[in-house]
Structure 1
Amino acid sequence: MILIVCKGNICRSPMAAAMFRHRLADAEIDSAGLAAMTGSPVDAAAERTLLAHGLSASNHIARQITIADIDRAELVLAMEKRQVAALLALSPTLRGRVHLFSRWTDGRDIADPHRRAQEKFDRAYELIDAAIEQWRSRL
């Protein structure tokens, strides 16, 4: 299972999960947040961006990451360096299984677009899309 992690689990990680599922139909993909807005749907702007690309996360419900998630995951991808550090602090057993989402592109954080302009969601999509292409070739 590939687990995608961000802060609130309403913007970047649900977008990335929907995108990964589209490209790796046979893979188990999940997402969670380190400070999840538990029970919230995907952000409306994130859903607009996905819909513009023929995708959707309309059935997504935000949830907090759990130790069970960590134990189940073969690969954990975080949107920011500080999230990688937080995940390793939460469970040192993740060493070797947790990576920055953009590891194979530019190695930079994918900025949180929450409560920002639609263009920031579109930019996050572009960065996630490029990173997924690189991960696909390595999985």
Structure 2
Amino acid sequence: MFNKILVVCVGNICRSPSGEYLLKKLLPHKEVASAGVGALVGKPADSMANDVAETNGVSLKGHEAQQLTSQLCSEFDLILVMEKKHIEAVTNIAQEARGKTMLFGQWIGQKDIPDPYRQSREAFEYAYELIDNAAKAWAPKLS
């Protein structure tokens, strides 16, 4: 059973916090956190990511970016990454985590969720929509 879920992207300020807070909302009985393979450690969620999330009823307030470490990987049952290439990045940090690392977009056609960082609001809205659809697809499988 997957009770502790870690959502991973690069900077841990756009996609993974959105995925984390959506899964927390959908799976309140699970422990969900997020991290980045190249995290902007200590930074809050990107303001545009927060605006788009809030428009959709989710707040990213209080989020602080953290770096993915092998220790962090060992603490979680399931690691969900935003892009296929992140699987390799996670494996480079913690080889033993490979078997429990999957794509966040696994159940929406194994889609990569593109990084909207420093792009238009439309890019953030598109990424959020994919994250939302993916989170809703994961929720019944993790319940």
TM range (shorter): over 0.9
Structure 2 counterpart of 1:126, from 129, 136, 140: 129
> Is 1:46 paired with 2:49?
yes
Following TM superposition, by how much is the alpha carbon of 1:22 offset from its aligned partner in structure 2, in angstroms? Answer: 0.7
Structure 2 counterpart of 1:109 = 112
Calculate the TM-score normalised by the size of structure 1.
Answer: 0.96
**Aligned with 1:4: secondary structure?**
strand
The aligned amino acid for 2:105 is S
Structure 2 counterpart of 1:56, from 52, 59, 63: 59
Following TM superposition, by how much is the alpha carbon of 1:95 offset from its aligned partner in structure 2, in angstroms? Answer: 2.7
Following TM superposition, by how much is the alpha carbon of 1:58 offset from its aligned partner in structure 2, in angstroms? Answer: 1.1
Structure 2 counterpart of 1:36, from 36, 39, 64: 39
1:60-115 per-residue CA deviation (whole Å, 9 max, x = no partner) reads 01110122210011000000111111112222211321001111112121000000
The aligned amino acid for 2:107 is W
Root-mean-square deviation (Å): 0.9
C-alpha separation between the residues in 1 aligned to 2:129 and 2:53?
Answer: 11
**Aligned with 2:108: secondary structure?**
coil
Runs of 4+ in structure 1 off by over 6 angstroms are none
Count of equivalent residues: 139
Structure 1 counterpart of 2:98, from 83, 95, 106: 95
Percent identity of the aligned residues?
A: 39
Following TM superposition, by how much is the alpha carbon of 1:41 offset from its aligned partner in structure 2, in angstroms? Answer: 0.7
- Whether the 8 Å contact between 2:24 and 2:32 is mirrored in structure 1 is yes
Unaligned runs of 5+ in 1: none
Following TM superposition, by how much is the alpha carbon of 1:42 offset from its aligned partner in structure 2, in angstroms? Answer: 0.4
Structure 1 counterpart of 2:82, from 79, 84, 101: 79
- Whether the 8 Å contact between 2:87 and 2:98 is mirrored in structure 1 is no
Structure 2 counterpart of 1:10 = 13
C-alpha separation between the residues in 2 aligned to 1:19 and 1:25?
Answer: 10
Unaligned runs of 5+ in 2: none
